[in-house]
Amino acid sequence: MGLSGLRGHAFRRAFSAYSYGRFYHHLEWSQASLQLDWRLGALNTAVLLTSSTVMAFAVEREDNRRPLLLLCALLGLIFLGIKGYEWNQEFLGKKFPTPQFEGSAGQRLFFFFYFTLTGLHAIHLSAGLLAVLFFARSQRSQDEVHLLGLYWHLVDLLWFFLYPLLYLIGSRP
């Protein structure tokens, strides 16, 4: 619980700054957001919430959690793979917020937040992924697996908010 609170702390500040940026650059942010692929974002949301379901089953199990933990890790890896593909596309499209960025200053600010928030999320997911693999290797107590589950669900929860806040600002009628 304490760890979850601590991690929430980093994201809370980022979300607060995000709301400020979006308030002052609303139009440019919706144009920038339309450049993201909402299908890949939705697919990744589905992958992550499925991994959370698998994790919930793994936590509940008394013994032989290994196959479920490995499946959970695999889904986490798929998420990172899709995210990496998206980042690569955005790098190639000169969307990384450097002086070479193609677009207005407001749009550049959006992509700054996009890379910061998705990057911060991916770092947390990678840490969780390593922990899941570590837990799959050896026998762990119920309490330890429960804590691992709480962390994994928290990373999933954050993505529930990141998806609409980053991918779905501008509408696509």
Partner 1 sequence: MTYWLIWAVLMALLGLTVLINHWALGVWGTVLALLVASTKALLVALFYMHLRHSSGLIRLASGAALLWVAVMFLLSWADFLSR
- Interacting residue ranges for partner 1, rule: CB under 8 A: 1, 5, 8, 12-13, 15-17, 19-20, 23, 38, 42, 45-46, 49-50, 52-53, 55-57, 60, 146, 149-150, 153, 156-157, 160-161, 163-165, 168-169, 171-173
Helix or strand run (H / E) with residue 111:
helix 105-137
Indicate the residue among 38 and 96 with the shorter CB distance to partner 1: 38
Indicate the residue among 39 and 137 with the shorter CB distance to partner 1: 39
Residue 43 Cβ, how far from partner 1 at the closest point, in Å?
10
Indicate the residue among 134 and 160 with the shorter CB distance to partner 1: 160
Q: What is the DSSP string of 61-104?
A: -SS--HHHHHHHHHHHHHHHHHHHHHHHHHHHTT-SSSTT--S-
Q: How far apart are CA 118 and CA 90, in angstroms?
A: 13
Residue 101 Cβ, how far from partner 1 at the closest point, in Å?
25
Residue 80 Cβ, how far from partner 1 at the closest point, in Å?
19
Whole-Å CA distances, 70 to 57, 114, 136 = 12, 29, 7
Indicate the residue among 50 and 126 with the shorter CB distance to partner 1: 50
Residue 173 Cβ, how far from partner 1 at the closest point, in Å?
4
Whole-Å CA distances, 127 to 2, 35, 51, 133 = 16, 29, 15, 10
